[in-house]
Amino acid sequence: MQVVILAGGFGTRLAEHTEAMPKPMVEVGGWPILWHILKIYSHFGFRDFLIAGGYRCEAIKRFFLEYRHRTSDVRIDLGRDTVEVLSESAEPWRVAVIDTGEATATGGRIKRLCRYLNKGPFMMTYGDGVADIDVKALVSFHERHGRLATFTAVPAPGRFGQPVLEGDRAVAFEEKPGPRNDQWINAGFFVLQREVIERIGGDETSFEITTLPRLASDGELMAYRHEGFWHPMDTLRDVRNLNRLFAEGSAPWEVWRR
């Protein structure tokens, strides 16, 4: 199953970092948060990635083009202009980086990847959030309920868009509606049937504002409840918090170290 990662936003609230790089390339513990997300999926056996780039997409391409040499011991022969990998330590990832346009909305980015997707269901998440989620359990949940879409719901403050849940079924999806007594928000980590792409209009379509509410009203959106760790990277405070957890050796999202 392929994994789509939306990595094309401007990250305006992280302007200190994102003037020269896209938001998913902001580092946590010396590695881009995008790398941490790939490590989470890879731990559960999902290693085929489609990265929907946009703003400063070239930085993402450059990172993966140089990744093998960065993570391995190499011998460089300056006279012959050759590089020999002495010990291979790069993960067996298959990574496609696709420029989906700077101004394209989230739904439009997914639609632009259609020709690169396999025929079956695929996973999707945002390039700025990490969690200790059991991805295999998420996929199993999606396969059991038989609907078109599953998203991961986590408890969180009312500053985020909130689904209205009846059991595990989402009956509506409200974008930043204000505080609620039972607060669950969209944390990404989706599993989607390919038919979902047919419900996306074009570049201007917001997946959160347009597609998710329609799926919910049609009874095709289910929520996988995750009450473990989840942390977005929306602000400079978030960057500091994630780096602090990493420095303290208590980064819960590093499921690959367990």
* pLDDT tens track for 34-82: 999 999 999 999 999 999 999 999 999 999 999 999 999 999 999 999 9
- Residue 177's pLDDT is 55
Instruction: Collect all residues with Cβ–Cβ distance below 8 Å to 30 and sequence separation of at least 6.
Output: none
Contact 118, 3 (CB under 8 A): no
Contact 40, 255 (CB under 8 A): yes
CA distances from 157 to 95, 208, 230 (A): 34, 17, 12
- Assigned domain for 183 exists: yes
The answer to whether residue 185 scores a pLDDT higher than 80 is yes
Of 11-15, 180-184, 249-253, the poorest mean pLDDT is in: 180-184
The answer to whether residue 181 scores a pLDDT higher than 50 is no
- Assigned domain for 254 exists: no
The answer to whether residue 168 scores a pLDDT higher than 90 is no
Measured CA angle at 92 (ends 47, 1), to 5 deg:
20
The answer to whether residue 166 scores a pLDDT higher than 90 is no
- Residue 125's pLDDT is 98
CA distances from 214 to 166, 182, 210 (A): 16, 22, 6
- How far apart CA 36 and CA 42 sit, in angstroms, is 10
Confidence of residue 210 (pLDDT cuts 50, 70, 90): very high
Q: How many domains does the chain have?
A: 1
- Residue with structure tokens 């390919």? 194
- Assigned domain for 256 exists: no
The answer to whether residue 176 scores a pLDDT higher than 90 is no
- Residue 179's pLDDT is 43
- Assigned domain for 79 exists: yes
Q: Say what the pTM is.
A: 0.89
- Assigned domain for 258 exists: no
- Assigned domain for 257 exists: no
The answer to whether residue 122 scores a pLDDT higher than 80 is yes
The answer to whether residue 158 scores a pLDDT higher than 60 is no
- How far apart CA 32 and CA 167 sit, in angstroms, is 36
Residue-averaged pLDDT of the chain: 92
- Residue with structure tokens 């006279």? 79
More confident residue, 16 or 1: 1
Contact 51, 98 (CB under 8 A): yes
- Assigned domain for 255 exists: no
The answer to whether residue 108 scores a pLDDT higher than 50 is yes
Query: Which whole number is the average pLDDT over 194-219?
Result: 96
More confident residue, 44 or 235: 44
- How far apart CA 165 and CA 162 sit, in angstroms, is 9
Domain hosting 244: range is 3-249
Count of all residues that appear for the chain in the document? 258
- Residue 146's pLDDT is 95
Sign of CA dihedral 159, 160, 164, 167: negative
Instruction: Collect all residues with Cβ–Cβ distance below 8 Å to 166 and sequence separation of at least 6.
Output: none
The answer to whether residue 120 scores a pLDDT higher than 60 is yes
| CATH number, domain with residue 79 | 3.90.550.10
Query: Which whole number is the average pLDDT over 98-108?
Result: 96
Output 42-47 pairs: Cβ under 8 A, ≥24 positions apart.
42/91, 42/93, 42/256, 43/135, 43/255, 43/256, 44/134, 44/135, 44/136, 44/255, 45/136, 46/1, 46/3, 46/123, 46/135, 47/91, 47/92, 47/93, 47/94
